[in-house]
Amino acid sequence: MSIEIFLALLFVLVTASFLGFELIAKVPPTLHTPLMSGSNAISGITLVGAILASNELGFTAVSKILGLLALVLATINVVGGYAVTDRMLKMFKKK
């Protein structure tokens, strides 16, 4: 990978991290759980990317291991998000 591509990808990572932190920090606590439950579907896209990264031919063992790690962490994120959403929705059901 050339240094120009690496710097471009690093710039995207740093910018996305900064913007994500700023957006999350400005969300009031009453809206945090409904917004996070809505973003679980978007997190599913991360699963697809992790599957593609771990199954790509021609990559080294390190990239396959990192792809598998991304797959595990993305799965934990999606399942945990749906568990929190389910728990939140149970609070509003009549007993």
Tens of pLDDT, residues 42-54: 777 888 877 877 7
The pLDDT of residue 33 is 65
- The tokens describing 28, both together, are 């009031």
Q: If you average pLDDT over residues 32-51, what whole number do you get?
A: 74
User: CA 50 to CA 74: how far, in whole Å?
Assistant: 8
- Cβ atoms < 10 Å from Cβ of 40: 16
Q: Kindly report the pTM of this predicted structure.
A: 0.58
- Cβ atoms < 10 Å from Cβ of 24: 11
- The tokens describing 77, both together, are 């994120």
